[in-house]
Chains A and B, each alone.
Chain A
Amino acid sequence: MPTPAMPALAMPGARRPHGANLSLAERAYRIRRHALRMGEVQGQGYIAQALGVADMLAVSYFHALNYRPDEPEWEGRDRFLLSIGHYAIALYAALIEAGILPEGEIETYGADDSRMPMSGMAAYTPGMEITGGSLGHGLGIAVGFALGLKRKRNPAFVYNLLSDGELDEGSTWEAAMAAASHRLGNLIAIVDVNLMQADGVSVEVSNFEPLEPKWAAFGWHVSRVDGNDIPALVAAFDAARALAEPRPRVIICDTKMAKGVPFLEARERNHFLRVEADEWAKAIDILDAARDAALARGDA
């Protein structure tokens, strides 16, 4: 059977070449844009989550993480573990921006035999360290990575991005306890608190607050920041990496779902945001206009 034609893309390619000196805000913009383009290709995707964590991913991949784009399995790399498999659209966007995945593969997102399936899996994608999707697994696996790196005296960090919904899983807290018990100073957990999970508002589904004292009581160094404030994120990542104490660190990021596209931000909050077929191009236009306006003001 012939491969079905891909839907036409409204704006193929980002408008500025991949460069080394782009600001973190520009990186975040480009990550959002890649994600929206994937959403347009597939007609769906966890776009609200992707737009929400784009700033955090920009800071991760263009400020904090050590990696080699052409050598994703480089032994010296910081490991970035995505336990929330459905956030794959966000991580693919970051991996594309980081040069680990080619931008040209955006059109394959979610297609048969793609390296970018809807849920992130280790065997499919360069730069995807683990198979996520069964929530509550990532932090425990991160504990094993961190133990292994310590054994090898490898100074790399292990990052685990988990969602607030994953805090409902008991296994997350088994891992939290084990990480502190094993004094894993090379482990940095990032919790995306977007307050929305499958059945509704996270703290109403199961109230995980107060979060800072909870993590602190489990023996972790805790910081909590606005996950869409790039300078605040930079400071939190710097502090987490610089901490001398042999304790695991958690950065709790309060993020806004669909951040950067006001008409989607305003839409009824939902775990799986509905976007109509003609709205993807509109969202990209709005994102581009906002970025151009920021550039004109000189604050991007």
Chain B
Amino acid sequence: MTHAPGFTPSGLSTRESKSTPRTVRRGPNGERLMTSAMIASIAAPGQRTAPAPFGQALVELAKTNDKIVGLTADLSKYTDLHVFAKAHPDRFYQMGMAEAVLMSAAAGLAREGFTPFATTYAVFASRRAYDFICMAIAEEALDVKIVCALPGLTTGYGPSHQATEDVAIFRGLPNMTIIDPCDAHEIAQAVPAIAAHKGPVYMRLLRGNVPLMLDEYGYRFELGKAKMIRDGRDVLVISTGLMTMRALEAAEALRRDNVDVAVLHVPTIKPLDTQTILREAGIGGRLVVVAENHTIVGGLGEAVAATLLRAGVTPRFRQIALPDEFLDAGALPTLHDRYRISAAAVAAQIREWL
């Protein structure tokens, strides 16, 4: 049985049996490959970073916007909302480890005219709190901003914490705007932009020391807009979230092989900037690759595929995404290589497809 690129048979574990004893696995330099803290930094060694960009941006915004309030479900420290809680303690609501009341109370605050930022992990928002987000927030198009850490594969703790399908879940929800920022530069700009937007927003969050990259490209975030970060003749990578960083690194590596890679960054997954996507994908002769930190089911890749097919634009098309599986636990670099979303794996896949 063969599968489209990126697909593996659903529900079949590729793991060794749990009855098989193991020895310590070591990396190329003999190092032990260990799972790091719950939220591993996705920054490469030596990469420029900025601390807690979401929390810092929210503190700044709250200075001039007295409608801003913050809520969390026992995860302020792990979503960088603790920075806001410290700066504006009277505008911070600790709701306890209770995602239903987190989302419901945010809805109530929005009904009273506030702009609540509600934070938790993406798995808990998308899986546990979905009905509350759907009926209390989205159905009334309330001004609640849902900001969630650990999107896709950004922790080695396994499926309980890996939100690999959150975008698929929220894409089906009317009224919901979905954004997946790439780096600290973009997060800082996205916070005031989503606060100014009327209606609910789901934002995937990178937290802690978050890499900085897009500032080097003179990039500015605009809600609903896809932006060309670099141009290229051979390949068009359409990417979102941290995969834009991976795509830019891969593009540099491929340039040395005389492969010219364009990168179109799509931070707003819904509503999708179909005009820009169709314009760029319609330029003949380029392989189109959609790259996302998300399951291959129901994310940006399928959204772009449907957009192209509906418009009759049919370039060669490939997806870089997580497989339709519950993912392994382990060290993040190991997992990013295993599931082929590291920069090296992105470059390797593009080479295979050329």
Contacts and interface: CB of A to CB of B under 8 A. Distances in A.
Contact of A140 (B101, B111, B113): B101
Contact of A145 (B100, B111, B135): B111
A142 to B, nearest CB: 6
Given A131-B140, A145-B112, A140 B69 contact: no
A177 B100 contact: no
Nearest to B91: A151
Contact of A147 (B100, B105, B132, B140): B105
Interface in B86-103: 91, 93, 95-96, 98, 100-101, 103
B111 A129 contact: yes
29 contacts: A121-B139, A122-B140, A131-B140, A134-B131, A134-B135, A137-B104, A137-B131, A137-B136, A140-B105, A140-B136, A141-B111, A142-B108, A143-B105, A143-B108, A144-B105, A144-B110, A144-B111, A145-B112, A146-B108, A147-B112, A151-B114, A152-B112, A174-B96, A174-B98, A174-B101, A175-B105, A177-B98, A178-B95, A178-B98
Contacts of B135: 131, 133-134, 137
B328 to A, nearest CB: 31
A134 B132 CA distance: 9
A147 B108 contact: yes
B153 interface: no
Nearest to B98: A174
A149 interface: yes
B106 interface: yes
A298 interface: no
A147 B109 contact: yes
A270 interface: no
B107 interface: yes
Given A148-B114, A151-B69, A141 B136 contact: yes
B67 to A, nearest CB: 10
B212 to A, nearest CB: 35
A144 B96 contact: no
Given A123-B140, A130-B136, A170-B100, A144 B131 contact: no
Interface of B: 69, 91, 93, 95-96, 98, 100-101, 103-114, 116, 131-132, 134-136, 139-140
Contacts of A123: 139-140
A123 to B, nearest CB: 7
A143 B112 CA distance: 11
B113 A148 contact: yes
Most B CB contacts (10 A, CB to CB) among A139, A141, A174 go to A141
A182 interface: yes
Contacts of B113: 148, 152
Interface secondary structure of B, over-half rule: helix
Given A130-B136, A137-B132, A171 B108 contact: no
Given A131-B140, A181-B96, 7 more contacts: A122-B140, A139-B104, A140-B105, A148-B108, A152-B112, A174-B98, A177-B101
Contacts of B110: 144
A129 B136 CA distance: 11
A142 B107 CA distance: 9
Interface in A117-137: 121-123, 129-131, 133-134, 136-137
A149 B96 CA distance: 20
B132 A144 contact: no
A90 to B, nearest CB: 20
B96 A178 contact: yes
Most B CB contacts (10 A, CB to CB) among A129, A149, A177, A178 go to A178
Contacts of B140: 122-123, 130-131
A151 to B, nearest CB: 7
Contacts of A175: 100-101, 104-105
B109 A148 contact: yes
A177 B95 CA distance: 9
A221 B16 CA distance: 56
Most B CB contacts (10 A, CB to CB) among A133, A149, A171, A181 go to A171
A144 B100 contact: no
Nearest to A154: B112
A131 B93 CA distance: 23
B30 to A, nearest CB: 49
Contacts of A147: 93, 105, 108-109, 112
A171 B104 contact: yes
Most B CB contacts (10 A, CB to CB) among A123, A136, A144, A182 go to A144
Contacts of B114: 148, 151
B98 A144 contact: no
A141 B110 CA distance: 10
Nearest to B112: A148
A182 B109 CA distance: 14
A23 B169 CA distance: 52
A263 B134 CA distance: 40
B66 to A, nearest CB: 10
